[in-house]
Amino acid sequence: MTDTAEPTKAPRNQWWDIWGQFRTHKGAMICLVIFVTILLGVAFGQFLWSIDPTYIDIRARNQGPNLSHPFGTDQLGRDTLARMIKGGQTSLAVGLVAMLLALFLGAFVGVVSGYFKRLDGPLMRLTDLFLALPLLPLLLVMVMLFRQPLSAAFGPETGIFILMVCAIGITSWMPTARIVRGDVLALKEREFILSARSIGTSNTKMILRHLLPNVMSPIMVSATLGIANAIITESALSFLGLGFPPDFPTWGRLLFDSVDYLQQYPERVMWPGVAISLTVLSVNYIGDGLRDALDPRIRGR
Amino acid sequence: MLTFTIRRLLLAVPTLLFIALVIFALLKLAPGDPMAQVPLTVPPEVKEKMREALGLGQPNHVQFYKWMVQFFVIEPQVIIDHIFGTSFAEGKLRVISWQTRSPVMDIIWQRMPQTLWVVGLSYVVAVIIAVPIGVISAYRQYSWFDQIGTFVSMIGFSVPTFFTGVLLIVIFSVLIPTGSFFWLPSIYDTTLVVDSWETLGKQIRQMIMPVFVLALYNAAQISRFMRASMLDNLNQDYVRTARAKGLTEKSVVLVHVLRNSMIPVVTVIALGVPTIFGGSLITEQIFKVNGIGQLLITAIQANDLPMVQTITFIFAILIVVFNLIADILYGILDPRIRYD
């Protein structure tokens, strides 16, 4: 770690070193570009491509790719490109928010169980129990049970969004918790923690100022894996017909709807499928590059 | 080792009870009413009687206890009766599906072979593909084989099975004409009885796609683990010693290194077994295999709570059992890790 004791002349930030190492990983760089492109396209695409994704033009139904509809139209004549952009917003939003929730839970459980000896045993047993749950079936059951009440309380879209995010977040924090706990246990024995304690640092300060910044790298790597996992899970649920309502597109839902027309219009499944795969692939590659870049043993070389 | 095994077995009991409780509690919150389909002309007191006949009138802890007794006492008794012709379970109430009013376990037994064939075979195929790929890409690290292997396995576990499956259907069932040799059926026909070479060929044809989809996904992960574990071992001192003794390269790599690198991989393979049952949910849905995963999904859609409860719990038991197997295998294979 670089010495930042004198902020006036701190020559190189640690994060610049990490960026420098990350740039040498070619696959990760290419995938970062792809991921940012997808992110921007999905976020701002609706301003460039202004067709309403819910607009039904029954005369233009089942069209292949052409100039006025670059991705074609579906069985009701809705523009597929517009629906892909709208669906991407939902899919990526679910992925990002669910990942943040899982990270928060995982980091919290990990830090607490690593730092407070008395809570370590119970919290780790809890983690083991969660790891032994059959996740996909339970997710399906959760969606089935809470879809109605939540839709009634928050409206169909927000309700399902909250449900998806919570369900995925609650079922995917365990790996992060384990990794963070291991790192915290190792950090706790280091001298800087001892000296921080000797000047009377409180527990809260100790965790926020000294421990959390030092476990940032495993947290960031599990963040990338978390996004990938959350996007796949959401699409899988939508694909099984247990996700967002039918008129509300997500990539998984678009894929699910296109499967019915597989015989007549096989190209229709490609758009959402490729979008999901490309996003997940690029996120995984970024995670790979990040893992190398955050490892100080590799970075020095 | 024996005390360790016994201790782990004892620890599995509260784990399973906790999971059963979680599943039970989740389903108790269900807003779905099994009486919703009953016509409105049926008077309320009759409805109440029907509800009690389904066991819904009792307090929650009694319901939970009865479910546990049904699952762990009566169902094994039924199996024993079936094998030995005894009559332990006669007259006892089994877990009954709300959809079909027949015992849940009987339906699961009917569906089991399809799932086991597709899922089991795909896992075997995955291991057979993954181990050599992992070994070669570790031995020739950074060669073109390794680069391609890394890329393909990255694709393998990034592309979700519901897209690879659909993609294969597009290529092999839609784009290739039906009469062609390479055409494969996209729907799994369970009624097919294998009794001649021709039906065997048909059976193999309809299994290729589902097996391949699951195998690709699993092989990608296992080959990564194999490669990492080989790389850890290739730089060890004992490898240098073995080479210095003048052993052939083949025996150094395939006997010394491979055996030691298999230790963590074997546990990973054991740990992966329950997850592929979960993954088969999607594959079965794509290829219309009527296995357990498809049974679970139809049960969820039909609000058939006993069925959902039982299948989810069976998945949980699989996870706990295979975690146990992985732990014990680790202890047996690696004498340094004896927990007692």
The four Cα atoms A215, A221, A223, A229 give a dihedral, to 10 degrees, of -140
Number of domains in chain B: 1
Q: DSSP string covering A15-44, please?
A: HHHHHHHHHH-HHHHHHHHHHHHHHHHHHH
In a domain, B238, yes or no: yes
- Inter-chain Cβ pairs, chain A and chain B, closer than 8 A: 118
Nearest-angstrom CA–CA distance, B104 and B98: 9
Can you give the CATH number for the domain in which B192 is found? 1.10.3720.10
| Widest pairwise Cα distance in chain B | 89
Report residue B34 as tokens: 């099994």
In a domain, B322, yes or no: no
pLDDT of residue A242 exceeding 90: no
* Segment B277-297, tens digit of pLDDT: 777 888 888 888 888 888 988
Residues of A in contact with B296 (CB under 8 A): 137, 140
pTM of structure: 0.84
Which residues, in sequence order, are CB contacts of A212 under 8 Å at separation 6+?
A107, A111
Report CB contact under 8 Å: A136, B166. no
Distances A105 to A64, A111, A139, A180 between C-alpha atoms, Å: 45, 10, 18, 11
Place of tokens 């030691």: B260
Greater pLDDT, A39 or A155: A39
Residues of A in contact with B271 (CB under 8 A): none
In a domain, B82, yes or no: no
Residue of A137, A255, A281 lying closest to B155 (CB–CB): A281
Residue of A141, A148, A232 lying closest to B300 (CB–CB): A141
What is the per-residue pLDDT for B133? 93
Query: What is the residue range of B225's domain?
Result: 106-301
In a domain, B288, yes or no: yes
What is the per-residue pLDDT for A147? 80
For chain A, give the mean pLDDT. Answer: 84
DSSP three-state, residue A223: helix
What is the per-residue pLDDT for A9? 55
* Segment B72-81, tens digit of pLDDT: 888 888 888 8
* Segment B191-220, tens digit of pLDDT: 777 888 888 888 888 889 999 999 998 999
* Segment A92-130, tens digit of pLDDT: 999 999 999 999 999 999 999 999 989 988 898 888 888
Hey, is the C-beta of B29 within 8 angstroms of any chain A C-beta? yes
Q: Amino acid identity of B194? A: V
Distances B236 to B132, B232, B243, B257 between C-alpha atoms, Å: 20, 7, 11, 9
CA distance A205 to chain B (A): 36
What is the per-residue pLDDT for A7? 52
Listed by number, the residues of chain B in 152-191 with a beta carbon closer than 8 Å to a beta carbon of chain A are 154-155, 157-160, 162-163, 166-167, 169-170, 174-175, 186
In a domain, B67, yes or no: no
Instruction: Count the neighbouring beta carbons within 10 Å of the beta carbon of residue B44.
Output: 8
Distances B316 to B18, B289, B309, B328 between C-alpha atoms, Å: 11, 22, 11, 19
| pLDDT, mean of residues A256-282 | 87
What is the per-residue pLDDT for B68? 84
β-strand partners of B96: B103
B-chain residue closest to A145, CA distance: B30
Residue of A228, A236, A266 lying closest to B170 (CB–CB): A266
Nearest-angstrom CA–CA distance, B100 and B111: 15
In a domain, B283, yes or no: yes
Nearest-angstrom CA–CA distance, B85 and B93: 18
Mutating which of B169, B300, B323 best tests the A interface, going by the most A Cβ atoms within 10 A?
B300
For chain A, domains (ranges, CATH) are: 18-46+81-294 (1.10.3720.10)
Place of tokens 């499928």: A273
In a domain, B83, yes or no: no
Greater pLDDT, B178 or B251: B251
Residue of A137, A255, A276 lying closest to B315 (CB–CB): A137
Nearest-angstrom CA–CA distance, A21 and B273: 37
DSSP B92: P
In a domain, B42, yes or no: no
What is the per-residue pLDDT for B124? 93
* A1 pLDDT tier (thresholds 50, 70, 90): very low
Q: What stretch of H or E contains B263?
A: helix B258-287
